[in-house]
Amino acid sequence: MLHTIRCLLLLLRLITILSVAAISAIGQDAAPAGSFPSSFPSVAQQRRPDDLPDPATIKLGTELVSLRVTVTDRSGRTIEGLKKESFKIYEDKVEQPVSFFSDEDTPVSVAIVFDTSGSMSGSKIVHAKEALARFIQTSHEQDEYFLISFGSRPQLLLDGVRDGQAVLDQFSNVRPEGHTALYDAVSLGIEKVSRGTCPKRAIMLISDGEDNHSRSSFDQVRRRLQESDIAIYTIEIGGSSPSPKSRAIGGIIMDKLAAISGGKSFWPGNAEKMDAAFEQIALELRRQYSVGYLPSNFAPDGKWHRIKVTVTAPDESPRLVVRSREGYYAVKNQDDHRGRTGTRN
């Protein structure tokens, strides 16, 4: 009998020791008050595989090709109020569904690149400044400005400011001298605008002469433009002839830069026409359409793909002129060439 009692006491003692150890272990692993124990599955862990984001869908989003499209009538007047259904996009002659559309008036990151070489007389700079004041007055109040002058080399005078008056003040301080490094200046403009804070981007190139002092070549500048979604507007302030045969080689080059990018060339023959040209550029930038599509059969092979945008004119509308960039290179990684889509991630 005594032996039985001793066995029971030892058993009870053993149970007590084990219970205390178990309670201690639970106390160490317990979650704070008001939260779930760490052993509970999270909300994401409880979701079925079908509910999780599809990696292919996420990857597809980086292939969006976005375009800034300008629509005008034959006289250059911008056309507003068009709907998504009015636009058609063709890549390599194959129609692509429009997956993104916006006609919102948003600010633009714009580089004002102006020639200060020795061939630029003081009166030309004065007239350009007066026209630039009209541009700033007409532009979006949140526009971001980069100011670049160039003679024998480009010089960054203002880097991403939202003060139009500061642009005009700085513009007044330039002194014409040196040669003309136009390609280098445009390259710097592309670099700065590509890093701008606004998804809409443009360059205004103000010059009167051909390039004669750049390290960059025309082909290099063209390639950089084709990899971006930056529109170049060129203003030639040294001549007024509308015939390409009678223009200087530099003027023809500026025409090509504008055409590649979906911008436009202006050849104002006097101060009044220059004012009108700058005002038209400002209005075009504010009234641009943003459209985008996911290319069918996309392959990141680095090849060039040609783009054409068409617009169906509303009933009784005049014949329309549609401008956008000519195409894009199918790069492997959007972060390597953010300008391909015109977006920043």
Question: Does the pLDDT of residue 276 top 60, yes or no?
Answer: yes
- Residue the block writes with tokens 């709907």: 83
Q: What was the pLDDT predicted at 340? A: 41
On whether the CB atoms of residues 61 and 253 are closer than 8 A, the answer is: no
Nearest to 228 by CA among 255, 257, 271: 257
> What's the CA gap between 251 and 239, in Å, rounded?
9
- Residue the block writes with tokens 């862990």: 45
DSSP code, position 78: B
Model confidence pLDDT, tens digit, residues 166-210 = 998 888 777 777 788 999 999 999 999 999 999 899 999 998 767
Mean confidence (pLDDT) of the chain = 77
> What's the CA gap between 172 and 113, in Å, rounded?
14
Banded pLDDT at 227 (limits 50, 70, 90): confident
Instruction: Pick the more confident residue, 309 or 31.
Output: 309
Long-range contact pairs involving 122-130 (C-beta distance under 8 Å, separation at least 24): 122/176, 124/208, 124/237, 124/238, 125/171, 125/174, 125/176, 127/237, 127/271, 127/274, 128/171, 128/206, 128/235, 128/237, 128/274, 129/168, 129/171, 129/172, 130/271, 130/274, 130/275
Q: What was the pLDDT predicted at 162? A: 93
Banded pLDDT at 267 (limits 50, 70, 90): confident
Q: What integer is the mean pLDDT of 261-270?
A: 89
Q: What integer is the mean pLDDT of 128-154?
A: 91
Q: 338 CB contacts (<8 Å, ≥6 apart)? A: 194, 344, 345
Q: What was the pLDDT predicted at 139? A: 93
The Cβ of residue 140 has, within 10 Å, a number of other Cβ atoms equal to 17
Q: What was the pLDDT predicted at 23? A: 40
Nearest to 90 by CA among 320, 339, 295: 295
Where do the domains of the chain lie, and which CATH numbers do they carry?
55-103+289-340 (no CATH), 108-286 (3.40.50.410)
Q: What was the pLDDT predicted at 231? A: 94
CA–CA distance from 148 to each of 54, 117, 160, 234 (Å)?
45, 13, 11, 14
- Determine the 3-state secondary structure of 233 from DSSP: strand
- The pTM assigned to this predicted structure is 0.74
Strongest mean pLDDT among 21-30, 56-65, 129-138: 129-138
Q: What was the pLDDT predicted at 13? A: 55
Instruction: Pick the more confident residue, 266 or 117.
Output: 266
Q: What was the pLDDT predicted at 22? A: 45
> What's the CA gap between 65 and 298, in Å, rounded?
11
Q: What was the pLDDT predicted at 247? A: 56
Question: Does the pLDDT of residue 12 top 70, yes or no?
Answer: no
Q: What integer is the mean pLDDT of 266-289?
A: 90
